[in-house]
Amino acid sequence: MAPLRPRDVVLLWDRGTRPPKDKRHICVDPGRQLFLRINSKPIWTPSHLIKAAPGVRFIAHDSYVELRQLVRHMAYEISRAAPLGRLDDEQTEALCAAVRIAETLSEDHKDLIVARLTAGA
């Protein structure tokens, strides 16, 4: 697998779910191993809706980016991640707007997410 970049959407083993299972995630900072989890339902609030559309290959149905925390995965799980696609500029802009108003994320995490997702796109 090619090195991960911010905005990459991958399927990886998530030990933080019950039961642990493969989940879709958006890579935020590959060096720090930080991701945002994608769910098929708005299980945790706040969340950000990503609409399924013909050009969106990484989801088959409307899905929700969990905005309550950044998720850190182990290097082993990341090394086995399956690439699914990549957020485009419009999706990234909408996600960053949602991140900015999420009351569950610290200001440092908001700044990190926005900076990493918008850098060098």
| pLDDT per residue as tens digits for the range 50-68 | 998 887 889 989 999 999 9
| Residue 17 within a domain | yes
Distances in whole angstroms, Cα of residue 78 to Cα of each of 3, 19, 54, 57, 114: 10, 18, 27, 20, 21
Residues 6-53: tens digit of each pLDDT: 999 999 999 988 899 999 999 999 999 999 999 999 988 999 999 988
| Residue 94 within a domain | yes
| Residue 112 within a domain | yes
Q: What is the pTM of this model?
A: 0.94
CATH code: domain of residue 84: 2.30.30
| Residue 2 within a domain | no
Q: How many structural domains are present in the chain?
A: 1
Domain coverage including residue 17: 8-118
